[in-house]
Each structure stands twice: as C-alpha cells, then as structure tokens.
C-alpha cells in the first residue's frame, strides 16, 4: 500500500474524530461534570416569565426599595421604614449556580425591618438571590447577586 497525502488526510481525520468522541463520552459518563439545567422544569418556568416581569417592575417602581447586602454576619435584607414588618409575607430564595444541592429558601420573618441570613449557612462564592414578597395585596420580586467571602 502506498502512503500518499490523501491517505495521511484520512488517517488524520479519523484520529481527530476518535479524539473528539473519546472526550464526549468521557464527559457524559463522568458524574464530576454536571450538565444539568439551572432551573427544574425550565419550560414551565419560562411560561410564567410575564408574571415575573410584572413583579420585578412593581419592585422597581417603589420609591424606597428593600436592600440586600453582604455583611460579616451573613446576608442582611433591610426593608424601608414605610413598610409595616408584620404585613410583609414571602420567601428569600438563595441559588448557588455552581452547586444545586446548596440552594435553599428562607421565609421572610422580620425582626424590626431586617432579616438576617446567617453566614454559617452560606458557602463562599456567588449566590443569586430572589426575594418574592407581598405587601398590601401587591406582589414584588427583587433579584440580586451577592458574593460571600
């Protein structure tokens, strides 16, 4: 058999395809590489996107907005003085983009006008925070990204 440039191209192409297929199978079979969606039932979540935008706009239209800050004690959620603390109902959802197992929710129960999520329940890194709350029959949604050291 003669070895010419056409044979070399075919061999190189076959080796390249084998190399790519090896890594595809390795990534798909190894549990170390997590390739799940961030949100369960993605399409159902997407169907309610319009409602979510109304709640985000309601929060944006407030003259005095609640604040979400990272402190040395943890994450501090502070509502303005114009709100009556025992009339505010809702949840604070904390999402860890790198690890779904660390996600959790905290019901809003204010002491004064603040809610503290202790640092001991938080791992360092990025946290996506969605605060869904109701006051006087109106729904609000506040989204923040916080980095914990």
Q: What is the tens place of the pLDDT at every residue in 62-105?
A: 999 999 999 889 999 999 888 888 889 999 999 988 888 888 99
Query: Structure pTM?
Result: 0.68
- pLDDT tier at 141, thresholds 50, 70, 90: very high
Give the CATH number of domain 42-148.
2.60.40
Q: Where are the domains of the chain?
A: 1-35, 42-148
What pLDDT is recorded for position 111?
A: 80
| pLDDT tens, position by position, 96-114 | 888 888 889 999 888 888 9
Q: Which residue has the tokens 């390249």?
A: 16
Distance from C-alpha of 108 to C-alpha of 86, rounded to nearest angstrom = 10
2, exposed or middle or buried, with CB in 10 Å at 0-12, 13-18, 19+? exposed
Check whether 15 has a pLDDT greater than 80. yes
Identify the CA nearest to 55 among candidates 113, 137, 128: 137
pLDDT for residue 49 = 83
Q: What is the pLDDT of residue 27?
A: 82
């Amino acid at each position: 058999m003669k070895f010419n440039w056409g044979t070399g191209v075919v061999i190189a192409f076959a080796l390249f395809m084998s190399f790519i297929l090896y890594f595809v199978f390795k990534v798909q079979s190894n549990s170390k590489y997590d390739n799940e969606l961030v949100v369960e039932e993605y399409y159902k979540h997407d169907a309610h996107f319009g409602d979510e935008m109304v709640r985000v706009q309601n929060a944006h239209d407030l003259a005095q907005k609640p604040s979400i800050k990272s402190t040395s004690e943890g994450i501090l959620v502070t509502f303005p003085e114009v709100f009556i603390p025992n009339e505010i109902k809702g949840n604070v959802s904390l999402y860890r983009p790198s690890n779904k197992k660390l996600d959790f929710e905290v019901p809003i129960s204010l002491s004064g006008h603040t809610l503290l999520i202790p640092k001991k329940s938080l791992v360092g890194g990025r946290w996506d925070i969605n605060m869904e709350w109701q006051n006087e029959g109106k729904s609000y949604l506040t989204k923040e990204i916080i980095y914990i050291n």
